[in-house]
Structure formats: C-alpha cells, structure tokens
Amino acid sequence: MDRLGIAATRRALEGTYGLALDGLSEEQVADAVRAAAGEGCPHPADPAFLGRVVDRLPIDESWLFREDGLWSFLETAILPEALDRAAREGRPVRVLSLGCSSGPEPFSAAILLVSLLEARGIPASAAPAFAQVLGIDPSRARVESARAGILGAWAVERARPAALRGQVAPDAVPGRYRVGAPARALCRFETGNLVDMASAGSVALAGFDLVLCRNVLIYFKPEEAARLAGSIARALDPGAVLAFSAAEAHLVEAAGTLAPLEHLGAGRAVRPGEATAPQRARRRARSELRPARPPRAVRSGYAAARPAAALPAGSDAVAAHVRIALEHAHAGRAPEALREARAAVERDPRALYARLLLGQQLLAVDGRAARRVLRELLQHAAALPQDAAVPCAEGLSVGQLGRAVALLLDRGDRA
C-alpha cells in the first residue's frame, strides 16, 4: 500500500477507534498496514481490514503485574474494601480492563483476587461466585489469545515470581506460559471499542468496582484522551475506582468527577461538582505558588514574549531524548528512561516536559531530588501562560502539565 493509502488508513483508525498512534513511528504503522493489506481487501473503509491492522499494531506491550506499586495498592487498599462491600450487597466484585490486549492485566487482577479470597477462606473453586474480571480489546486476535489463557515469555518473565502466586506455569510449547484454571475461571474477554463504550456511558460501564485503563489513552490525541477519561469517569458508579498509568495521571483531574487516590493515576468516582479535600488542598497549593498577576502594562508585553520553553518548538535533540525516555518508561525500563530524561534536561534545562519526566523517574530512586525538580518545575510552570503548548508533548498545555506535577508531588510527599 502506498503513502496515501497508509495515511487514509491512519485517519480511518482514528475515526473508528480513536487511535491517533502518536506514540508509534511511521514505519511501525506502515508495517502493520501492509501486513494487513496482504491478507485481503486493503480499503480503509472496510471494517475487517481495519481490524486486521489493529491486530498488527505494536500497542500491546504489557506483562503480568506491570507496575508493582499499583498492584500493591490494589491488594492492600482497594480490593479488600471492594470485596467487603460486594459481600454486604450480595454480589461479586466486578473488575473491567479496557484495552486488555492478550490478557496480562485481567489475569493479574484475577490472580490477586483468587489469593485474597483464599485468605478469607474461600477456595479457588468458588472464587467465580465472588469476583468477575472482564477484559475488552479492539483486536479480535488478541482477545482470542486471551481466551486461550496463553501468554508469551515477555508477558510473564518480567513479573516478580512471588506475584504470580503459582498461578502461571510453562506451557508444552517452549516460550509460552499458561495461566492456571482458577484465575482463568474469573476472566471473560470480549472484542470492544473504547470509544463506543465511553459513548454508551453507564450502559456499558456501570456496575464495576474497579476499571483499569492504563497505557491505553496514550495512543489518543490529548484532547480526545481527556474527553474519553471524562466520559468513562462520569459513567462509573460513585465509589468505583478508575486507574490510569502514571504517564496518564493528569487525566484523573481532567476527568472532573474523580477524587485522586494515594496511587498516582488512580481516582475514585464522585458525583459531578463534588469537591474533595485532596482536590481543595491541591488548588490551594497551586494558588500559593502562582505569582501575583502583573499590571496591565506588563501583561501586554509578557504575552508577546512567551519563553521558548512554553511554545511548541524545541531542539530535535531534546525531542529525541524525550521520545526515547517515554518508550523506555512505557516498557518498564526505569533506568533507561531516567538516563534519557536527564540527557534531555541537560540539553535544555528549560524543557518542561523533560523535567516532568525526570522528576517522575527520580521518585522511585531519589525522592528528595525528585521533589526538588518537581517543585522548581511547578513554580516555573505557574509563571507561564497556562494555555501555552508544552514542547515535545502535543496537545498538552502548561496548565495541564502543572496539574500533573501537583499529583506527582502528592505522591512523593506521601512516599
């Protein structure tokens, strides 16, 4: 397929699935389109063709218990409470994983739930009566793989062995693993479109205690990601928990009806307009950091002389380091992500997004340094026009970045 056909396919993918694919290279997208075109009608208007392209897009890099901190948080703070509430109401706990790929995230939730239920004296054979996990993904091929309960070595061997709780074993085929029957029994997988589910609102999303939507909206345009986050949050029952990845943590506040929780990227659904104590505290902190509004005579020149760091331009070298840092962070390679973020900041100390990435990666290894970087960044961002675009982060405004920094500082101060 030629360039025009590939461009048309990209537009169709965005229109149908919301996938802007900004995190993928042109070559990666082109490879997926050409592979799908070789198996049948390569017309962008053909849903079957688009489905084959989605099957081949490299947007499924995940593994069991990805991001240990989230699963520890769920195990100690969220799921026990959800099990208690569900038991009082005489129903099972319900967990939803959006963009579940071939199943690592739903299987992680199921393994954890089986363990928590066994600790309460409920045998694994009875667990399906107390917990249900639904995985949704637009790729039919990945959903079929999830239903088989088979995972590749990449998805298993990156997890801590203790986290697997003996529920995953090598398959007869080398390089593959099979999820144990108790965890598989809790899981159901369906093909579905996140955009359609968000549009359907509570019809599709009500009744869940926990919704996982991690490393999914990074493939959408920022404004569409914020819109979808808001639609999902509004559809949840009050008290339900919605978890994004750390890279999507700004969506918690952007959603408008989520009260941020202790884990970065997680929020609890509240009724529209219901402000929470943590939200009020963050607003006060930001207002204290925001400098006094300059006189009118100064303001006119201030807007005309916006610093380069607040405009959508920047050196190619900084942009390259940021892109590579994000790729490492999304793949769970923290040391490499930290190295690239540092390189970007060294290239341009004013680079807002690079400094955000640096502070985020430092939190795990040097909390004091991380907080220093983030507080300086928050002060810098507060002095800039809040609607200005952030270089190297298409669609992200200075104001949105400031809110993400505030969430990171909350996490760092509580660590």
- pLDDT tens for 11-33 read 765 666 555 555 556 677 677 66
Residues 6 or more apart from 226 whose CB is under 8 A from it?
Answer: 251, 254, 255
CA distances 367 to 255, 318, 410, 411, 413, Å, are 28, 24, 12, 10, 8
Which residue is it, tokens 């400031």? 402
Which residue is it, tokens 């060294």? 346
Return the CATH architecture of domain 281-414. Alpha Horseshoe (1.25)
**What is the model's pTM?**
0.62
Residues 6 or more apart from 400 whose CB is under 8 A from it?
Answer: 222, 250, 254, 390
- C-alpha 231/C-alpha 296 separation (Å) is 39
CA distances 264 to 181, 245, 271, Å, are 32, 8, 21
What's the pLDDT score for residue 299? 30
Q: Two tokens at 69? A: 């901190």
Q: With beta carbons less than 8 A apart as the criterion, state whether 136 and 194 touch.
A: yes
- pLDDT tens for 261-304 read 988 899 999 976 664 444 444 444 444 333 333 333 323 222 33
What's the pLDDT score for residue 29? 67
What's the pLDDT score for residue 294? 34
With a cut of 70, which residues of the chain have pLDDT below it? 1-7, 9-10, 12-26, 29, 32-33, 36, 38-46, 48, 50-51, 53-61, 272-315, 330-332, 394-395, 411-415
What's the pLDDT score for residue 341? 83
Distance of CA 385 to the CA centre of its chain: 27
What's the pLDDT score for residue 39? 61
What's the pLDDT score for residue 20? 54
What's the pLDDT score for residue 326? 78
Q: Work out the burial of residue 301: count CB atoms within 10 Å of its CB; fewer than 13 is exposed, 13-18 middle, 19 or more buried.
A: exposed
What's the pLDDT score for residue 297? 32
- C-alpha 413/C-alpha 118 separation (Å) is 34
Return the CATH architecture of domain 68-269. 3-Layer(aba) Sandwich (3.40)
What's the pLDDT score for residue 282? 45
Question: For residues 268, 271, 273 and 279, what is the CA-based torsion angle, rounded to 10 degrees?
Answer: -20
Taking the CB of residue 252, how many other CB atoms lie within 10 A of it? 26
